[in-house]
Amino acid sequence: MRLAARDPEALEDTLPTLSALHRVCARGDIDEPARVHFILHRLIPEYLERLPGGRDCRAIRELLTWQDADGELQSLTTRYHKAAGHLVSAASDFGRRQEPRLLLECARRFIALDHEDRLASRPAPSLRVSEVAMQDLETPLLDVSPGSVEHGVVGVHRNLEYHRLTQYITEAREVMILNTWIPGIDILADVLADAIERGTSVSILLLHPQSHIAQLRSQALQRATRARFCQDMVRPGIEHSLDVLAAVSQMVDDSHRGRLRVGLYDTLPSISLYGIDDCAFLSFFMHGHLAVKSPQIELRGHDSLMGHCAFQEMAALWEIAYEIADISQWRRETCGLPSTDTRVPAPTRQRDVVTFMAAS
């Protein structure tokens, strides 16, 4: 990142992982200066061109573009500034908060591209009939890809996997999230904005920040032994989530903002649910544990037993929730709003509930 433009010679013999990629190995036995030059000026630019068009990928392109259109070297500060322009509510300390996340995503994408290159370079083997039959037997009986046949519970994960979640959202028609607040809202903001622009309906239910239930949930977390839970995290977490959602709404075209619905509920939180079309990740509110850090039950299908119960619960909460008319003005709308008697029922759409149930 820092030496590519300023001192590429210093990178010689320091790029073992990149040097092991298929495209580099295919160059044969070249000397180290030529290998570094190929990585910096051929491999990385070509990989950047193959990245999809999401906000994170556009920011990655800016970070790894050592030269501008005129061939002039770009400083790291310039690249930070350009990359931040593609993100929603990018932090001022970009190098500490955003750069590590983007580089991790970049590494994951590059590895996937390397796998594609390796597969493309191998001729398809001819299979005997017996081998074809064996392949059929080895085909998974359970398809757990998004949009697959309804199956009910298809897996249990140790915690909420944001990488898997963001992948699903990029292909979703509907996003439905139910939580008290959203610890990973900064990770999901860009992919949500892209989804809304693409036509995805996003519905999010959060706990009312001024409710007594929010205080009780905070107390339940504070009973944990971890020092980081000793202060109230719930109300600040809800307010930060609403601020980021307000920023998301400003990032999309005026004609698309109606696809984002945000509601506040004031009742006992039952489940944490991240729903993407017919897929959902279900969790519970443990004492001393965030829901996103608790086991996640992966569901398929609204008509399965567990799926029906989970999505019905979201629909029930929408019936009693206060739906924010203008998320950009959420503080004005909720300021002094009693958390029980003055709620306006939100329209009921069972499959339109994107309640980013950030397990708090």
Which residues, at least 6 apart from 135, have a Cβ–Cβ distance to it below 8 Å? 127
Residue 73 has a pLDDT of 85
Cα 261 to Cα 63, 174, 209, 237, 247: the distances in Å are 33, 12, 17, 18, 14
DSSP assigned state of 40: I
Distance, C-alpha 51 to centroid of its chain: 17
Residues in the chain: 360
Residue 192 has a pLDDT of 92
Please tell me the distance from the alpha carbon of residue 99 to that of residue 49, in angstroms, as a whole number.
Answer: 19
Q: 44: closest CA among 27, 68, 19, 69?
A: 19
Residue 230 has a pLDDT of 57
The domains of the chain, with CATH numbers, are 3-120 (no CATH), 152-352 (3.30.870.10)
Residue 220 has a pLDDT of 73
- Please count the other Cβ atoms lying within 10 Å of the Cβ belonging to residue 286: 15
CA atoms within 13 A on the CB side of 153: 11
**E-strand stretches of 75-230:** 152-157, 174-178, 201-207
Q: Can you tell me whether residue 271 is helix, strand or coil?
A: coil
Q: What is the mean pLDDT of each successive set of 10 residues along the chain, which is 360 residues long?
A: 81 86 85 89 90 86 86 86 82 79 87 83 53 40 44 86 87 92 86 92 91 78 56 82 91 89 89 91 84 88 85 90 90 64 39 35
One DSSP character per residue, 157-186 reads: ESS--HHHHHHHHTT-SEEEEE-S--TTHH
CA atoms within 13 A on the CB side of 221: 25
Residue 275 has a pLDDT of 93
Q: 241: closest CA among 253, 249, 231?
A: 249
Helix 185-198 vs helix 55-63: crossing angle, to nearest 10: 110
Residue 136 has a pLDDT of 42
Residue 90 has a pLDDT of 67
